[in-house]
Structure formats: structure tokens, C-alpha cells
Structure 1
Amino acid sequence: MIRSAFLILAIAAFAPLQAVADPPTAHLPVAFEATIAPGDTLDSVLGHAGIPGTVRAEAALALSGVYDLTDLRPGHRIEWTTASWDPASLTRLSLFVEDGVEIALSFDGPIAAQRLDPPVRETDRRETLTLNGTLYDALMARNAPERFAVDLTALLAGQVDFRRDLKGGETFALVWQEDQLPDGSIAGEPRLSYARLELADRVLELVATEAAGPVIVFEDGEAVQRSAAPILGARLSSVFGRRNHPVLGGVRMHTGIDYAAPVGTDVSATGAGRVIFAGTIRGYGTTIDIDHGGGVVTRYAHLSEIAEDVRVGTRVKAGDEIGAVGATGLVSGPNLHYEVRVDGRPVDPKDQDALPEQEIASAEDLDTLATWRSETGFMTAIDGERG
């Protein structure tokens, strides 16, 4: 819990002003600040500062119209001012939450709340890395988003094994966009547009046309895969195969892969298909099954919710949002369980033959590939002939 002693002392320090006849500072507001610690709530922080329960309740009610107070996290800040003649009287309160967003309360008249989003500037980042260790280490050395280590490993899993196929010295080029706040910090999630991995015997390229949409993987200039990651920026917490079950105990077969992520994180369809189940399955919790044809079905389990427009019969494309991460079913914490079944039999989702062939690259996709090659200086003979 936040140490409240300094807050109470600060309030007490201004009490003598009430005994002074109209000093120059008698009507100036007094400012306070606190940082949320594990276990803290807005109510507990203001309560320790001596703010009456009725005022705290009114503030929480007004804030609920623009912000869910259960989203307050350690590290978020609270700033408030009180009248110097009444340290328990709020005159203004602001929450500073993720991405520089301020949730401000005004007490001039009826309590009113508003969300103040800071101005952001979209910036392009381009890096060319030499892989002499792990992809994660190479990204960290260039201050690139660490989440790309997970995303790229998942998206390119059908073509390369990052643990076995990399011998050292490979070139990895990346292009992404990020939103920069006025103080130079980054808001929201980075958006990958292009990646290129030069192996000894082939070149792999990845083109993403939308932040959470499908990506197309090219091998030596030929489109070989069109898919989307089921979740972006998550940690791979369990792989396919036998493991110690985290809830039931004992060694059991794990029929998919798990991604650990906060409740509410978007979950996307990995390929085009038709929803054949959307409901609850014992052990899996809230679950969606998508039929991709050819006997292939993907399963997305432990969800907290199913997207409003997703139901049995709904047709989806790679990258379509279908639900959100949860902790339903037999789980030890929030995660997405992603599973691929072929003719009813679970297979490793990282198997490049797990999903059926689908339309891969359009003429527009090929033009996008050529554009990124040109802009990053990776023109090839094929591009020259086409131009």
C-alpha cells in the first residue's frame, strides 16, 4: 500500500493558515501527488489523505463515465488539489495512466470528468541487425520493441527455426511505425510493416499491410504463407507436447500452444474460415473453433469474451478480431490457448503444413513488397526485371 504519512503531514502543515487573518496564500489550492502501488485503489489513496467518503464516491462515479478504475495499475499517478482552508475538500483531481493519457475531474459546479489524450506523432523506425545471438538480444541492442521477438518467431515459424537455423552473422531488417509522445516516450503498440531475414540458402520476407491484420511471408520472392498471429505482443508460455499440467498436476499432453497476456488482449483469427463453434467447453472455458477447410480447424480457448459479431456461421479472414484473452476453463492465469486440429487430431501449430493452402498474395501485396525492398535498399534482380 502507498505510505500515506507524508500526505497527512502535508495536509496538517497547512492547518495553521486557518488561524491567520487573510494571509496572501489563504485561498491558494494545495497540491498533492501519489503513485499507485500494488494493492492500491483510488479510494484507498484518497481515504488515507483524509478525503471524505462521500466526495470519494462522487469522484469515482464521475470517473466511471470515461475510465474504468479497475484498470489503475502500479506506476499510474494521481494528482489532486484541495482548498487551503479545507484540506479535505477536493478542487481538482487527475489520473495519469498509460500512454500519457490524463483523466481529469473538475469540481467547479457539478463534478465533471474528461479524458485528455496527448498529441502523438507517428514515426517510422528502420533497423538492420546482425544476428550473432538471439533475435531478442539483437532487438534490445537497437532499442527495438522486444515484443517483435515473439511476434516474428510465431509468424515465421513455418519457414525458420530461430534456435536451430541461425548460425550467426545473418542480416535481419525491420521496418515499423510507433506513436511518439511529446516527452519522447512511445504510446501504444508498435506496428510492424516489413521484415527481411537473409539466411545462408534463402531469403525470407514478411509484409504486413495492417497492424493486426494478416501478414504475407515470401521465400526468395515467392509468397508461401498468408496468416496472422493469434495474438500480438504476448509471451509464449507453453508449447505443444507433453508437460506438467499447471492445474491438474501430472504429465499430460498439451494439444496446443499458450500465449500469456492480460485479460482483454485482442485475439485474432489466424486464417480465413467459418466459425463452427462459439461457446463454452469444459476445461477450455469460453472457446471459438474456426473451420478452414481441408479438415483443418483452429481453436481459441480460455477467452474472456467473444466478439459481438462472431457466432456460428460467421466467416472470418486472417487477422479479424474474434475475441479477447481471459482465464476461463482450467488455467492458472490469463492466457490464450491456440490449437490446430487436422481431421480431429491435434497437431503442432508451428507445423508449416498445419493450415491448408489459401489465396496468398495479390498484385497489391506484391507491389507493397517491391516498395519496401526499394525503400530499404534490398532491391533484387526480380524487382529490376519487373520494373
Structure 2
Amino acid sequence: MIRHTTLLLLAFGLAAPVPVFADPPTSHVLSQSTATIASGDTLDSVLGRASISPNVRAEAALALAGVYDLTELRPGHRLEWAAEKIDPTRLLRLSLFVDDGVEINLSFNGPITAERLDPPIREVDRRETLTLQGPLYEALVAANAPERFAVDLTALLAGQVDFRRDIKGGESFALVWREDQLPDGSIAGEPRLNYARLELTDRVLELVASDAAGPVIVFEDGEAVQRSAAPILGARLSSVFGRRNHPVLGGVRMHTGIDYAAPVGTEVSATGAGRIIFAGTIRGYGLTVDIDHGGGVVTRYAHLSEITDTAEQGTRVKAGSRIGAVGATGLVSGPNLHYEVRVDGRPIDPTDREALSAQEIASVDDLNALTTWRKETGFKSAKMEDRG
């Protein structure tokens, strides 16, 4: 009756035209969904649980692959998508939110298109000088410095200092690093260590990293004593050298190396210069690389997911050369790198001071970098009294 009356008034010009049916709100047209990637999830499995058709899932994966490597999908990444409410299996748009503020948007209006949005990143140089009163990890947390440096420095300085026994309290510690900040102030990617200085009671240790991806030079009282690289950066030390309960076989057995827990695919590097004498599979160790450093010293990198194409038997490598990636091959309970040092065929604790001897001296660039970082942190030389 109301509709008929309105039409009659319009016919005599007595009412302004109004639409007979207004467009329904967007919420009546779209079905909005979101999902957080969990362990074992893939793009296909998440969309499959939402009853998205296999054809659409395949098209979405193909479009995404043009701007993002879907093998990098990790727990915690987020998917958001919109579909027709009357047909929730038909996607209208999809967004993938991954690490470092990166957002990838797909549009299904016509041919599927993908757009990757990378947030602006600002490089920031950070430095801290502090006094150790306990574990290095606690000092880094208190200074709002990257906690991962506690593991990295323990590995990089293993030949010169034992952080569990040599730190008595009161030692001066300086650190310089670079990090990438997102617009919201959060950190993108991994921080890059440039310089570290530790003043012990009887000596001064300094570490210089001229290239974030390469080896580091360790100086003791101003003299270069070691050129090496950590086998893996930013990982958690999950098992130490010595007797332990085997996580797979059970029972107390000798653990002939140290383990670093890290996600599958994390880069693994040679800790020193040498020649690859084995690259393949060893029972129990899984995919493995052995490097001969001379003088009877061999390092082993096991449980790898892959070995780089350049890491072939007979190939010479430098400290910091990438040789493979973390995996879970062999007798292992989860992804990790098993790192081993053998001297004349006998496994020794990789954290022992003599595990890897000095192999190369510092270059001119390394010495210039050492001078630069000393000045920037308020030190003139390796001597403890030369400050300010």
C-alpha cells in the first residue's frame, strides 16, 4: 500500500523520486574471514578448510607466487579474505600479512592480480656501553639490545672467552649494531653486529664485522687472533657437548657437538677457511658437510635440509661462506644444526678456546673498521685505561 501511494504521488509530481530498493550494506554482500597460519599450514590447506574451490585456490597460489615465495609462509602470518555471502566459496579479494610489515593483496575482479606492499624501512645505527653484572643475555635485555647477540657472541668468541666462567661482574661491554625500523618503531629482519668490546680483568677482546654477511675478526689486546664466523646466527643453543639423554634413541649417550635450534631453511655457514672433504648423507647425521681446516681440525655441519650447489667435495671455502641450510634429517627430534669440531678424528667441545686456531690475519679494511668503532664507542685503543 505504501509503495502504491508513493508511485501515485510521483505521477502527479507531488513527491521527490526515491529508489524503490536501496543497495544493501556491504556486510550483506560480503563474507569477511581471517585465519592465522599455524604449524603445518599451507595457503591451500587454510583456504581448503574455508571450502574455497580447488581451482580458485590454485589461481590464488599462482598469483601470489609472482610476488612472494609461498615456501616462506610461517606460523603467525595472517590471511584475510572476502567472499560473496550467498556463495562464500567465491573469493572477491585476499590479503596475506607476513614478516616485516609486508602485505600482499589479491583482487579477483576479472583476471587475478597481485600487489605487494613493502613498508618504508629506516636504517638505524645503535650502540650501547654497559657494565656486566650478570649473564650477557640479561644485560642485553636491560639495554633493549637484541637478545640474539648473546648466542651469536658466545659462538663468535668461543675461542677466547667462556661467558659462563670468565664473567665475574663489573666487566665493561660495548656493542655497535645496525637495525631496520618500520614506521611503527618495530624491527624488521635481523640486526647486524658491527663491533663488540669486552674488558676482562687481564685482557681486552674486540670483535669487528666489516660485512654483516661475512666473517668476523677477533682481536685480543689489539692483535688479531681469530678470523671466523658463527655456523648460524640468531639461533638458540639447544644442546651442549657431553653426555646427555638422547632425544630420539633414549638412554645416556655422548653428544659429540653442540646443537642450535632454528627454523628449517636458516642459513648455515663455514666457521673458518678450509676445504670441503665430504658433502652428503651420513647415517644418524643426515645431510652433512665436513670441512678440513688443516692441522688435523675438521668441522661438521649436520641435519641439513640442503647443501648449496657450490659446496661440493674438494671446494675451498672461506669463513662465513654459506654451505647449506638448517633441516631435520638424520636422528633428530626437530629442526636444528648439529655443529661438531674434530681434532685428529677426536670430537672436542666446540666452545673450547683451542677448537679452531687462527687462520687468517686482519685486512686493512678490518683494521680501519676497528679504529672507527673504537672512536665511536669512546675508546682510543685496546688498553683499558685509554678511554674518552
TM-score with structure 1 setting the length = 0.87
Is 1:364 aligned to residue 369 of structure 2?
no
For residues 157 and 51 of structure 1, do their structure 2 counterparts lie closer, same or farther at Cα, with a shift above 3 Å needed? same
Which residue number corresponds to residue 273 of structure 1?
274
Matched residue of 1:184: which SS?
Answer: coil
Q: Using the TM superposition, give the Cα deviation of residue 87 of structure 1 relative to its aligned residue in structure 2, in angstroms.
A: 5.0
For residues 249 and 85 of structure 1, do their structure 2 counterparts lie closer, same or farther at Cα, with a shift above 3 Å needed? closer
Q: Using the TM superposition, give the Cα deviation of residue 66 of structure 1 relative to its aligned residue in structure 2, in angstroms.
A: 3.6
Matched residue of 1:57: which SS?
Answer: helix
Matched residue of 1:340: which SS?
Answer: strand
- After TM superposition, the structure 1 stretch with the greater mean CA deviation from structure 2, 24-33 or 127-136, is 24-33
Q: Using the TM superposition, give the Cα deviation of residue 248 of structure 1 relative to its aligned residue in structure 2, in angstroms.
A: 1.3
Which residue number corresponds to residue 330 of structure 1?
331
- Distance in structure 1 (CA, Å) of the matches to 2:356 and 2:261: 23
- Distance in structure 1 (CA, Å) of the matches to 2:280 and 2:232: 20
Which residue number corresponds to residue 17 of structure 1?
none
Q: Using the TM superposition, give the Cα deviation of residue 99 of structure 1 relative to its aligned residue in structure 2, in angstroms.
A: 1.0
1:35/1:74 contact within 8 Å kept = no
For residues 47 and 173 of structure 1, do their structure 2 counterparts lie closer, same or farther at Cα, with a shift above 3 Å needed? same
Q: Using the TM superposition, give the Cα deviation of residue 233 of structure 1 relative to its aligned residue in structure 2, in angstroms.
A: 0.5
For residues 206 and 357 of structure 1, do their structure 2 counterparts lie closer, same or farther at Cα, with a shift above 3 Å needed? closer
Matched residue of 2:337: which SS?
Answer: strand
1:36/1:73 contact within 8 Å kept = no
Work out the percentage of aligned pairs sharing the same amino acid.
78
Which residue number corresponds to residue 76 of structure 2?
75
> After superposition, where does 1:86-235 map in structure 2 within 5 Å?
88-235=89-236
1:290/1:299 contact within 8 Å kept = yes
Deviations 1:252-281 (A, max 9, x none): 111111111111000000001111111111
For residues 162 and 80 of structure 1, do their structure 2 counterparts lie closer, same or farther at Cα, with a shift above 3 Å needed? same
Q: Using the TM superposition, give the Cα deviation of residue 51 of structure 1 relative to its aligned residue in structure 2, in angstroms.
A: 4.0
- Distance in structure 2 (CA, Å) of the matches to 1:157 and 1:82: 55
Q: Using the TM superposition, give the Cα deviation of residue 164 of structure 1 relative to its aligned residue in structure 2, in angstroms.
A: 1.4
Q: Using the TM superposition, give the Cα deviation of residue 84 of structure 1 relative to its aligned residue in structure 2, in angstroms.
A: 6.7
For residues 275 and 112 of structure 1, do their structure 2 counterparts lie closer, same or farther at Cα, with a shift above 3 Å needed? same
Deviations 1:10-53 (A, max 9, x none): xxxxxxxxxx8342746997473524053555445545556444
For residues 74 and 327 of structure 1, do their structure 2 counterparts lie closer, same or farther at Cα, with a shift above 3 Å needed? closer
1:252 counterpart letter in structure 2: R
Matched residue of 1:367: which SS?
Answer: helix
- Distance in structure 2 (CA, Å) of the matches to 1:72 and 1:287: 26
Matched residue of 1:63: which SS?
Answer: helix
- Distance in structure 2 (CA, Å) of the matches to 1:81 and 1:319: 46
- Distance in structure 1 (CA, Å) of the matches to 2:72 and 2:364: 43
- After TM superposition, the structure 1 stretch with the greater mean CA deviation from structure 2, 321-330 or 352-361, is 352-361
1:207 counterpart letter in structure 2: V
- After TM superposition, the structure 1 stretch with the greater mean CA deviation from structure 2, 292-301 or 59-68, is 59-68
Q: Using the TM superposition, give the Cα deviation of residue 285 of structure 1 relative to its aligned residue in structure 2, in angstroms.
A: 0.7
Which residue number corresponds to residue 380 of structure 2?
379
Which residue number corresponds to residue 21 of structure 1?
21
2:341 counterpart letter in structure 1: V
Which residue number corresponds to residue 5 of structure 2?
none
1:204/1:218 contact within 8 Å kept = yes
Greater radius of gyration (CA): 2
1:229 counterpart letter in structure 2: A
2:310 counterpart letter in structure 1: D
For residues 141 and 123 of structure 1, do their structure 2 counterparts lie closer, same or farther at Cα, with a shift above 3 Å needed? same
2:177/2:191 contact within 8 Å kept = yes
For residues 108 and 237 of structure 1, do their structure 2 counterparts lie closer, same or farther at Cα, with a shift above 3 Å needed? same
Which residue number corresponds to residue 260 of structure 1?
261
Matched residue of 2:90: which SS?
Answer: strand
- Distance in structure 2 (CA, Å) of the matches to 1:239 and 1:133: 21
1:177/1:190 contact within 8 Å kept = yes
- Distance in structure 1 (CA, Å) of the matches to 2:142 and 2:195: 19
1:135/1:149 contact within 8 Å kept = yes
- Distance in structure 1 (CA, Å) of the matches to 2:372 and 2:206: 13
1:286 counterpart letter in structure 2: L
- After TM superposition, the structure 1 stretch with the greater mean CA deviation from structure 2, 25-34 or 160-169, is 25-34
Q: Using the TM superposition, give the Cα deviation of residue 239 of structure 1 relative to its aligned residue in structure 2, in angstroms.
A: 1.2
For residues 382 and 333 of structure 1, do their structure 2 counterparts lie closer, same or farther at Cα, with a shift above 3 Å needed? closer
For residues 26 and 357 of structure 1, do their structure 2 counterparts lie closer, same or farther at Cα, with a shift above 3 Å needed? closer
Matched residue of 1:229: which SS?
Answer: coil
For residues 29 and 74 of structure 1, do their structure 2 counterparts lie closer, same or farther at Cα, with a shift above 3 Å needed? farther
2:129/2:377 contact within 8 Å kept = no
Q: Using the TM superposition, give the Cα deviation of residue 331 of structure 1 relative to its aligned residue in structure 2, in angstroms.
A: 0.7
> After superposition, where does 1:310-349 map in structure 2 within 5 Å?
310-349=311-350
2:367 counterpart letter in structure 1: L
1:32 counterpart letter in structure 2: Q
Deviations 1:151-175 (A, max 9, x none): 0111112211111111112111110
Which residue number corresponds to residue 294 of structure 2?
293
For residues 322 and 26 of structure 1, do their structure 2 counterparts lie closer, same or farther at Cα, with a shift above 3 Å needed? closer
For residues 199 and 342 of structure 1, do their structure 2 counterparts lie closer, same or farther at Cα, with a shift above 3 Å needed? same
- Distance in structure 1 (CA, Å) of the matches to 2:353 and 2:176: 25
For residues 377 and 157 of structure 1, do their structure 2 counterparts lie closer, same or farther at Cα, with a shift above 3 Å needed? same
- After TM superposition, the structure 1 stretch with the greater mean CA deviation from structure 2, 269-278 or 70-79, is 70-79
Matched residue of 1:54: which SS?
Answer: helix
Instruction: Provide the aligned C-alpha RMSD in A.
Output: 2.5
Stretches of structure 2 lacking an aligned partner (at least 5 in a row): 1-19
2:35/2:46 contact within 8 Å kept = no
- Distance in structure 1 (CA, Å) of the matches to 2:219 and 2:200: 13
Which residue number corresponds to residue 36 of structure 1?
36
- Distance in structure 2 (CA, Å) of the matches to 1:293 and 1:346: 15
1:99/1:187 contact within 8 Å kept = yes
